[in-house]
Structure 1
């Protein structure tokens, strides 16, 4: 089911992209021969006017086939000096009209993201996050040192401001730190009634490309939910129980559990508080092949719902969020050349499908409203990523074509078929190489699941 959700979500943003090309081509007078939802052998086809509409076997995305491909092949095979400029064909249109068609795909993705985010902010959505109280990662990972330690931040501090902007929960803190890897930050925190200012430089996480300062977020060890049949359920834990100790070690916050169980015991003695009375039980622990443990419990999170905005306010907020996402994504491109592990940081179609499916499955488990909002937000992010990727000046991508057609317009000379072919093949080779690389990363991701 996750895979189906993922394929459907990925298909939507690719379809929107191709729809942009289709509508722009029709608007500037370029004939479209076929418009398909999905790839592969058509399961359904119907011709309306001059366009054949299709539904392909493979459901991801689609394509828009414009008139002129046969003329281009003929010019290439017969070594003609220029591509025939017949009316209605792609290369028969003025270069600037072709620029409009090429730009329309990314523009459609950007518009889709704005509309989706407008919807999300218009109806409001539930946010589940953690507070702004932190635990130093060095308290959990013995011997390690992080930017937060070096700056003087302590476990129990509450981060209230980053770069002059107030923050009140873990999501806001992560959003402020993640795009600022290796850039100086000023952080303000509360400690025992005092207000302290720290200067630090977030470390680059080579697996994600994000900035990290080396903190976990403090969560009280109070049980919120217990999964039926889990080790915690069998041990008798219930919502509201507060874990006091594990194997005799105090548990002041949930991050301490990983430190206490780092040697992977199979049994753990546990003391907890229920209704003012201390009780004891025993947990039978089962570790998977990757050394991970699922206790079957969730601890309390900070929950709040954003208020529904008016249509005008939602559009303004959606536009700002889309632009912020675009600029953050653009800035992240530079991190690819600064030591980031590309097999982890670059996602291919398989991993993206899993990510969409995971978001859908997890969020719909919290309710239909939460599911729709979470999936819509993720699709908006994916659509912006597709917009940005296609605007890169790489041959065969929309950005490369725009560059090519602008050059043609400025030079006022028709493009030679051989040059166009070489340009496209170079881009295809680059894209194919990136695709292979991303799929290799996806395979590593799947084996690491």
Structure 2
């Protein structure tokens, strides 16, 4: 609940910026804005300035921009008129090109917010933790695994140096490239025993996440970075700097091998083989299982710390714009995956899930430091803004894209679309939005249950 409450205002700002775009464009195009609200629901405060009533409403999710004559086509249809009556300051009384500008301004404002958010990320710089480019295939531990890594013959300890010509010095680089290319042929440059191999591979589409995957884990050596006080490892005498080499005589050399070994371990005490200061020792460690059946030894491992330094104003703006362009491409590609069997329940998220995601990013970041919290929020805001930009431009009635589409038709035909056509096309849009709402609501319910 706390994460939801943290994320809700951020989501509200994203929607508010969208409506502010419509507001500014409407004013510039001579369309009268009758109401502009921060938030939805019951009005807590209102003040009329000129022709616009400014409102503060009770539900802090975005806002709305009520323009004069938005529903004029409905009234014209009900009165069986051949055209929408012209009225000064009405939305359907201005030139269709101005309606296009007004409709486009909302999504465009979100796009500008995405660029600004990514510019902030670049300006602040950020630090993240990863491992090097060594990998461990899933099939090494799961005999039933049929992932591309098995077919490609990847082995534990392989280093993936490049993917289709792009260098991959860290596991995060490998994840990023693979996830963006589901069901596409890639070429891995793999280093194995000082020999370099070129291996073709085709990532599978994860129908829950929409990401590509090849069936690999990161290779984390069993070099101990920290031992939690009073944990099983601490009580057993394991120290920071030790390197685990095996348990009960079974050789182990990476974190996943250790995890899978302990998953099926039935003894209450394990004899852990270690290297300490170049000397081999053995220590008995009592096995403590968690509520979910896992084993918690209380150990932390060494990870790579990657720091990207902050940039100046000009460079930050450039990074913000280029990053937004890249994000647009990725999001368009993600939308196309809906036609490849992507799970709608997982692909579509409602306000509860989105707010909770924002809250999770925020709390995870702020738990480290303020800069990390701001960077995390800015990154997910950029993703949401780009998604809103594209979704709102779909040529579906009720959405901004629907208004743009009908205005474009009027520009081409050089005459107004009959009110009857506009009225009935609204039902198509309402049906689409209602269906999307049901999916989003169901996704939120599943998310809450999980």
* TM-score when normalising by structure 1: 0.92
- Distance of 1:434 and 1:296 partners within structure 2: 44
Say whether the 8 Å CA contact 1:287–1:293 is kept in structure 2. Answer: no
Say whether the 8 Å CA contact 2:262–2:295 is kept in structure 1. Answer: no
- Distance of 1:227 and 1:442 partners within structure 2: 36
Displacement after TM superposition at 1:300 (Å): 2.9
Q: 1:63 maps to what in 2?
A: 64
Q: Is 1:337 the counterpart of 2:339 in the alignment?
A: yes
In structure 2, relative to structure 1, the CA distance for the partners of 1:445 and 1:17 (3 Å cut) is: same
Instruction: Output one character per residue of 1:140-195: Cα deviation in whole Å (capped at 9) or x when no partner.
Output: 21231221221222111111111111111122111211121111101112122221
Q: Is 1:118 the counterpart of 2:119 in the alignment?
A: yes
Displacement after TM superposition at 1:348 (Å): 2.3
* One of 291, 313, 322 as aligned partner of 1:287: 291
Consecutive unaligned residues in structure 2, runs of 5 or more: none
- Distance of 2:393 and 2:423 partners within structure 1: 20
Q: 1:188 maps to what in 2?
A: 189
- Distance of 1:366 and 1:302 partners within structure 2: 16
Displacement after TM superposition at 1:397 (Å): 1.2
- Distance of 1:50 and 1:399 partners within structure 2: 27
Displacement after TM superposition at 1:263 (Å): 4.1
Secondary structure class of the residue paired with 1:284: coil
- Distance of 2:46 and 2:78 partners within structure 1: 30
The residue correspondences of 1:53-132 to structure 2 (distance < 5 A) are 53-69=54-70, 71-132=72-133
- Distance of 2:369 and 2:443 partners within structure 1: 32
In structure 2, relative to structure 1, the CA distance for the partners of 1:76 and 1:229 (3 Å cut) is: farther
Instruction: Output one character per residue of 1:213-272: Cα deviation in whole Å (capped at 9) or x when no partner.
Output: 111111123444566787767777665454444566443111123422444869563626
* One of 441, 444, 447 as aligned partner of 1:445: 447
Say whether the 8 Å CA contact 1:268–1:285 is kept in structure 2. Answer: no
- Distance of 2:60 and 2:82 partners within structure 1: 39
Q: 1:301 maps to what in 2?
A: 303
In structure 2, relative to structure 1, the CA distance for the partners of 1:356 and 1:28 (3 Å cut) is: same
Say whether the 8 Å CA contact 2:38–2:56 is kept in structure 1. Answer: yes
Secondary structure class of the residue paired with 1:91: helix
The residue correspondences of 1:428-443 to structure 2 (distance < 5 A) are 428-443=430-445
Say whether the 8 Å CA contact 1:147–1:202 is kept in structure 2. Answer: yes
Q: 1:28 maps to what in 2?
A: 29
Q: 1:45 maps to what in 2?
A: 46
Bigger mean CA deviation after superposition, 412-421 or 261-270: 261-270
Secondary structure class of the residue paired with 1:141: coil
* TM-score when normalising by structure 2: 0.92
Bigger mean CA deviation after superposition, 249-258 or 395-404: 249-258
Measured on the aligned residues, the alpha-carbon RMSD in Å equals 2.4
Q: 2:326 maps to what in 1?
A: 324
Displacement after TM superposition at 1:139 (Å): 0.9
- Distance of 2:176 and 2:213 partners within structure 1: 11
Q: 1:419 maps to what in 2?
A: 421
Q: 1:147 maps to what in 2?
A: 148
In structure 2, relative to structure 1, the CA distance for the partners of 1:250 and 1:394 (3 Å cut) is: farther
- Distance of 1:227 and 1:94 partners within structure 2: 69
- Distance of 1:436 and 1:128 partners within structure 2: 38
In structure 2, relative to structure 1, the CA distance for the partners of 1:138 and 1:52 (3 Å cut) is: same
- Distance of 1:346 and 1:35 partners within structure 2: 28
Displacement after TM superposition at 1:327 (Å): 0.5
Q: 2:137 maps to what in 1?
A: 136
Say whether the 8 Å CA contact 2:245–2:275 is kept in structure 1. Answer: no
- Distance of 2:255 and 2:409 partners within structure 1: 59
In structure 2, relative to structure 1, the CA distance for the partners of 1:383 and 1:194 (3 Å cut) is: same
In structure 2, relative to structure 1, the CA distance for the partners of 1:405 and 1:196 (3 Å cut) is: same
In structure 2, relative to structure 1, the CA distance for the partners of 1:247 and 1:59 (3 Å cut) is: farther
Say whether the 8 Å CA contact 2:33–2:68 is kept in structure 1. Answer: yes
Instruction: Output one character per residue of 1:263-316: Cα deviation in whole Å (capped at 9) or x when no partner.
Output: 48695636264854543321321233xx66766654332212112222222222
